[in-house]
Structure 1
């Protein structure tokens, strides 16, 4: 870009007249001095007019994206919130994908604008439009994803995130978004928090586990926080902590072992007195780490898990015996607890007039809708895995490595890739 073209007026002319969008992107990205680019893009026209009111928000998507993202991240001029919302509803995705780093700036700028207006709710709808319209695939991770979840949590609009969270991430496309390793961790960590706030424990456990098991040369601080929350969610939903997958970084469980959480896990659920002592002593720590709510829910459910363990050993027990076992003083409270568990389907039992509780195995019950949902999920996951297998089979890097591995063992290409003499791909070769 020539020196006389450093004004926003000249830039606006190029935006509105060019038909070569990649060239326009190169000009906007590299044709301005790096140290003053955002200042120039966020300035008004020479006439004092707002360029965003001159440009067509849809047809001039690329130019608007550069100017809008600059304006939202500088203090040169205000941006009408309704204009931001309108752009996110109407932009042309193919144009926006030419400048993924500006899309990231736009998303962060929307967050800042909501903070300026002290209106967290404002950010939810524009970010939802961005996160659903911008990616080439609905299951592709972008930098917008964690920002959107943060907005939903801040605005207490948790349900708004469920359609996005219901689609497992299966694609990482470097050209689509300027992702970092931390974006993946943050998205799944925030997803776990959001599901935990909704008391969707199975989904929360899944998202926290994805964060915890993400590969890396060393555990990230966020993974340790996710592991704490994963363990607490397991206590709430299962009554115990589960063995971590073998592919978790070996240092991560050791880091957790040196925290107060290990004492909590070891005392759970039977040692009610010890649990209360830990809560009182470490309440400030749990609160600072944003885990106090989960800890209190876990401790509140401890008597239920202790009671369920009793059913594995005894067929009948008196209310007094149960009260002593679960750490509750009043038989009336125990009776209320048992009736509550019976009502929610957690326990199958009968209480006699004399206060004797008889336990029995609950009859299995499956709703047609639940069976259909399981079958539908299995089919959907099968299709995703099949597509990933096909992509791997077409990968030049994979074929090259497989070929070199086969030659190392003295195999011919045909022997390695073909099943028998049928001409079909050997399934086992896909997992070498």
Structure 2
């Protein structure tokens, strides 16, 4: 079908006339589906048509035209103008209308992200993509296909705090496994940027232990960072996998991460000079993995671990002795490390500036302040909510015909006469 002014004007007129109520919107949606070939046949009339529509009122029609418009190659001089139009649409569009055509909305957002990358201005995409996620979600528990793109934008723009805001949601609904892997991987990196190492460990752990039939590059890179973050946050790393980790991951991940496992072994000795020598020897490898900065944080954390060990042995110690014991350059550097650890709550101590002595103290927290009681109360409420949700999901799963069929097939593989109860392990 050839696009001409009359036919395009007809589409615009239909959009303007059928955007007022739900029954009209349904009729409009059917009309737009039938007009897709028309919309994708000429770029020149599409932009001028957008100017005749209000994205907050004519959201569904605006979306169809915008998706057609952004699917054409865009000249560099027009990209910025197009990005402004997309951002304006995302911010003002009707959630109810765009959820009628979620795939088109996702397509527009992903192409918007690609153009932002092309201009090397990732920060321009951060706020619109966050808005797009909230409008696309049916609930905060849903992981959309835009989450990973948003977190990648946050990483490149160094907007870690904004990225961290979506990671506080508990996710129970996942559409695509690959999106889950990327969400946890990029999310772990955002948490590392925020120095939220506990949450980073949780997300990277999810990647490493997630079900997988074949090993993927995301899991390999996550495992390397998982080792490094474990050393920074916990001061140790265990090579043992949880029982629920896929056999593919257990067999193969270590083979792709040998320098990182050797780094963990070197870290375990507590000797800073050996660790620094190892890092220098393998610097090129860590650099090619884009992990050198994180590796240097591992080195820095060893000073903290060694200082923490001193608190278990001594009540008082001079800054000079601390510097000598943990191999710091001088007492001033030791003082800086101790002060930072006090500020971060990693140790409890006071420094006598007059004689350069450090006095190590017990944890002053008595767990009876209003703030601590509120924290404990909110934690209990969250655990109760999670428990209720898991019970509900378990009930739904126990009634799912596909799940029951799968379990039934697996049960036939076992001779139950050889067991006192149900088998210890089977694949679901």
**TM more than 0.5:** yes
* TM-superposition CA deviations, 1:345-372 (whole Å, max 9, x none): 4334577998887655434344532431
Structure 1 residues 322 and 56 mapped into 2: Cα distance closer, same or farther (>3 Å)? closer
Counterparts of residues 172-251 of structure 1 (less than 5 Å): 172=174, 179-242=175-238, 244-251=241-248
Q: Which runs of 5+ in 2 are unaligned?
A: 412-427
Stretch deviating more after TM superposition (212-221 or 247-256): 247-256
Quote the residue 2:260 is aligned against.
261
Q: Which runs of 5+ in 1 are unaligned?
A: 173-178, 409-431
Q: Any idea what SS the aligned residue of 1:268 has?
A: helix
- RMSD between aligned residues: 3.5
Counterparts of residues 402-413 of structure 1 (less than 5 Å): none
Quote the residue 2:300 is aligned against.
300
Task: Tell me if structure 2 keeps the 8 A contact 1:213–1:249.
Answer: yes
Task: Tell me if structure 2 keeps the 8 A contact 1:69–1:109.
Answer: no
Task: Tell me if structure 2 keeps the 8 A contact 1:44–1:51.
Answer: no
Structure 1 residues 239 and 391 mapped into 2: Cα distance closer, same or farther (>3 Å)? closer
Counterparts of residues 69-84 of structure 1 (less than 5 Å): 69-75=67-73, 78=78, 79-84=81-86
Quote the residue 1:362 is aligned against.
363
User: Structure 1 residue 386 and structure 2 residue 410: aligned?
Assistant: no
How many residues were matched structurally?
392
Quote the residue 2:150 is aligned against.
148
Task: Tell me if structure 2 keeps the 8 A contact 1:349–1:357.
Answer: yes
Quote the residue 1:175 is aligned against.
none
User: Structure 1 residue 113 and structure 2 residue 115: aligned?
Assistant: yes
Q: Measure how far apart 1:120 and its partner are.
A: 2.2
Task: Tell me if structure 1 keeps the 8 A contact 2:316–2:357.
Answer: yes
* TM-superposition CA deviations, 1:7-51 (whole Å, max 9, x none): 645544554455554565466557655xxx7742x6233xx8611
TM-score, scaled relative to structure 1 = 0.77
* TM-superposition CA deviations, 1:283-326 (whole Å, max 9, x none): 22222212111110110120221232344456677777655542
Quote the residue 2:91 is aligned against.
89
What is the aligned counterpart of 2:54 among 50, 53, 56? Answer: 56
Structure 1 residues 99 and 339 mapped into 2: Cα distance closer, same or farther (>3 Å)? closer
Task: Tell me if structure 1 keeps the 8 A contact 2:143–2:171.
Answer: yes
Stretch deviating more after TM superposition (340-349 or 209-218): 340-349
* TM-superposition CA deviations, 1:412-431 (whole Å, max 9, x none): xxxxxxxxxxxxxxxxxxxx
User: Structure 1 residue 401 and structure 2 residue 401: aligned?
Assistant: no
